[in-house]
């Protein structure tokens, strides 16, 4: 119920945020259009006045028709219909733009009838930057005596005039980022809470079973008459020993978790014989394999099997992968460990005939506490830290691991150890 409420709250919040963003974009666009229209009107009035002053200087009057034409967003043409003096035009443009507080750079050119070209007039930049004379002025065939003017930084000038909208958009984006971060934290905390609950439940079960079994066996062994039944005594002593080993393994997994949390791995690097280490680890599974009527085969073909690694951690890596292969097998486990040399690299492969792993889960299985979803059925208990420990050790050793697996066809984990 709580989960559904959180989802609904997040959905409504997301819809609201999207609506606010759309409205903000709409009004920013409207504001930009309004400021642009105001700018165009100011420029047209300024250019009209410039044309009027140039004509008055020449002793003529402007025709009734508006001489200003806007060819593109930042390009205007002014029809003087009379001779244009470049220096006079330059003076009138500066004074008129200063009067109207149009403090942005511009470049103008005068049409030359003799050459039929737009002749570069001048580049004016209030910031006194280096002029860019690479712009080409478009001719306008309807006029004979005219000049063109370009405002290369018009868009930036308009944006600078919209400070309040830019600030409000920045505040909105910041609020959205914090909202998204808060949602992320909520879901992360919720997931961690569920993981913690599952971890405690699994740990309780994993510890309770061997402790209960040891307790029952201890009560049986406390019977004075059991000494008269050596076979029964041996059987219960074996049970205690096996359960003690199981308990030690669970404690080691918890210690592995502590190492992962603190990211403290104390490596004692040395030259070790990989084939020999595999043989030793495989021996610890003899009882479990026999109990399940399975088989553990070794194909140690690497003739140069000495590698530089930490013996304890590498043994734990091999143990975890073999243990998973046995636990996640619904029938008789068939485990095969192979070592080969390929391209001057040692390849250690551990194959099983277990339930396999679907493609969408193969990258996630190395995450801490992750367990492949199986609904409400959990036939295999565990902490979900074994493969995360494996990945951490392999990363620390600067090795690589890859997985080949298909549902119902088992899995193969291959550790690539460079020389």
Residues near 388 by beta carbon (within 8 Å), at least 6 away in sequence: 260, 366, 367, 368, 369, 370
Phi, psi dihedrals of residue 72, rounded to the nearest 5°: -145, -170
pTM: 0.51
Last residue of a domain, one of 160, 176, 201: 160
pLDDT at 114 > cutoff 70: no
Q: Sorting pLDDT into bands at 50, 70 and 90, what band is 347?
A: very high
**Do residue 308 and residue 407 come from a single domain?**
yes
177-207 pLDDT, tens digit per residue, is 887 788 788 777 777 777 677 667 666 766 7
> Which structural domain, as residue segments, surrounds residue 275?
265-418
**Do residue 23 and residue 131 come from a single domain?**
yes
Residue 263, by phi and psi: left (phi above 0), alpha (psi -120 to 50) or beta? left
Q: Sorting pLDDT into bands at 50, 70 and 90, what band is 334?
A: very high
Q: How many domains does the chain have?
A: 3
pLDDT value at position 258?
66
What's the rounded Cα separation, in Å, for the pair 347 and 351? Answer: 13
**Do residue 185 and residue 43 come from a single domain?**
no
What's the rounded Cα separation, in Å, for the pair 92 and 111? Answer: 17
pLDDT value at position 401?
93
Residue identified by tokens 């043994």 is 315
Residue identified by tokens 């002014």 is 78
Last residue of a domain, one of 160, 192, 225: 160
289-317 pLDDT, tens digit per residue, is 888 888 999 999 988 889 999 888 898 88
Q: Sorting pLDDT into bands at 50, 70 and 90, what band is 261?
A: low
Phi, psi dihedrals of residue 122, rounded to the nearest 5°: -165, 160
What's the rounded Cα separation, in Å, for the pair 221 and 223? Answer: 5
**Do residue 10 and residue 117 come from a single domain?**
yes
Cα dihedral angle (103, 109, 111, 117), rounded to 10 degrees? -150
Q: Which two tokens stand for residue 297?
A: 């085969």
What's the rounded Cα separation, in Å, for the pair 136 and 119? Answer: 10
**Do residue 17 and residue 130 come from a single domain?**
yes
Mean pLDDT estimate for the chain: 80
Which range scores top for mean pLDDT: 30-34, 132-136, 265-269?
30-34
**Do residue 64 and residue 148 come from a single domain?**
yes
**Do residue 68 and residue 84 come from a single domain?**
yes
Q: Sorting pLDDT into bands at 50, 70 and 90, what band is 2?
A: low
**Do residue 63 and residue 187 come from a single domain?**
no
Q: Smallest Cα–Cα separation from 253: which of 387, 366, 124?
A: 387
Three-state secondary structure call for residue 263: coil
Residue identified by tokens 């390009």 is 75
CATH number at residue 359: 3.30.565.10
Q: Smallest Cα–Cα separation from 307: which of 284, 339, 281, 266?
A: 339
What's the rounded Cα separation, in Å, for the pair 227 and 224? Answer: 6
pLDDT value at position 238?
78
Choose between 409 and 133: higher pLDDT: 409
Last residue of a domain, one of 160, 177, 193: 160
Q: Which two tokens stand for residue 315?
A: 């043994």
**Do residue 227 and residue 312 come from a single domain?**
no
pLDDT at 26 > cutoff 50: yes
Q: Express as a percent the part of the chain with pLDDT over 90.
A: 13
**Do residue 10 and residue 150 come from a single domain?**
yes
- Number of other CB atoms surrounding residue 394 within 10 Å: 19
pLDDT value at position 85?
82
Lowest mean pLDDT across 73-82, 146-155, 211-220: 211-220
Phi, psi dihedrals of residue 44, rounded to the nearest 5°: -65, -40
What residues are paired with 346 via a beta bridge?
A: 341, 417
Q: Sorting pLDDT into bands at 50, 70 and 90, what band is 98?
A: confident
pLDDT value at position 80?
83
Contact call for residues 417 and 348 (beta carbons, < 8 A): yes
Choose between 127 and 118: higher pLDDT: 118
DSSP 226: G
Q: Smallest Cα–Cα separation from 400: which of 368, 366, 372?
A: 366
**Do residue 69 and residue 152 come from a single domain?**
yes
44-74 pLDDT, tens digit per residue, is 899 989 888 888 888 888 777 788 888 888 8
CATH number at residue 210: 1.10.287.130
**Do residue 400 and residue 329 come from a single domain?**
yes
């Amino acid at each position: 119920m709580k989960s559904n409420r959180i989802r609904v709250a997040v959905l409504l919040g997301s819809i609201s945020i999207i609506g606010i963003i759309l409205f903000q974009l709409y009004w920013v666009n409207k504001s930009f259009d309004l400021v642009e229209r105001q700018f165009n009107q100011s420029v047209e009035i300024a250019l009209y006045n410039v044309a009027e002053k140039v004509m008055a200087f020449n002793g003529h009057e402007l025709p009734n028709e508006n001489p200003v034409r806007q060819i593109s967003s930042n390009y205007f043409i002014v029809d003087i219909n009379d001779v244009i003096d470049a220096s006079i035009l330059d003076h009138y443009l500066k004074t008129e733009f200063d009067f109207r507080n149009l403090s942005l750079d511009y470049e103008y050119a005068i049409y030359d009838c003799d050459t039929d070209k737009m002749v570069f007039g001048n580049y004016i930049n209030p910031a006194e930057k280096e002029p860019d004379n690479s712009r080409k002025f478009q001719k306008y065939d309807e006029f004979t005596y005219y000049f063109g003017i370009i405002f290369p930084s018009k868009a930036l000038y308009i944006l600078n005039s919209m400070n309040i909208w830019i600030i409000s958009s920045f505040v909105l984006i910041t609020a959205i980022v914090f909202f998204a971060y808060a949602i992320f934290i909520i879901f992360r905390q919720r997931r961690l809470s569920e993981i913690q609950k599952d971890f405690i439940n699994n740990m309780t079960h994993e510890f309770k079973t061997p402790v209960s079994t040891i307790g029952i066996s201890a009560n049986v062994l406390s019977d004075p008459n059991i000494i008269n039944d050596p076979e029964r005594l041996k059987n219960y002593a074996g049970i205690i020993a096996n359960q003690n080993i199981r308990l030690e393994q669970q404690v080691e997994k918890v210690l592995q978790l502590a190492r992962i949390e603190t990211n403290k791995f104390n490596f004692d690097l040395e030259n070790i014989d990989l084939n020999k280490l595999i043989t030793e680890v495989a021996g610890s599974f003899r009882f479990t394999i026999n109990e399940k009527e399975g088989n553990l085969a070794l194909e140690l073909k690497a003739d140069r099997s000495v590698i530089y690694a930490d013996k304890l951690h590498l043994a734990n890596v091999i143990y975890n992968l073999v243990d998973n292969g046995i636990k996640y097998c619904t029938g008789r486990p068939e485990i095969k460990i192979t070592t080969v040399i390929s391209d001057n690299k040692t390849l250690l492969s551990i194959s099983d005939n277990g339930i396999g792993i679907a493609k969408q889960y193969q990258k996630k299985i190395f995450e801490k506490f992750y367990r492949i979803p199986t609904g409400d059925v959990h036939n295999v208990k565990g902490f979900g830290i074994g493969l995360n420990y494996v990945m951490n050790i392999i990363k620390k050793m600067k090795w690589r691991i890859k997985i080949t697996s298909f549902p119902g066809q088992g899995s193969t984990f291959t550790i690539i150890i460079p020389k």
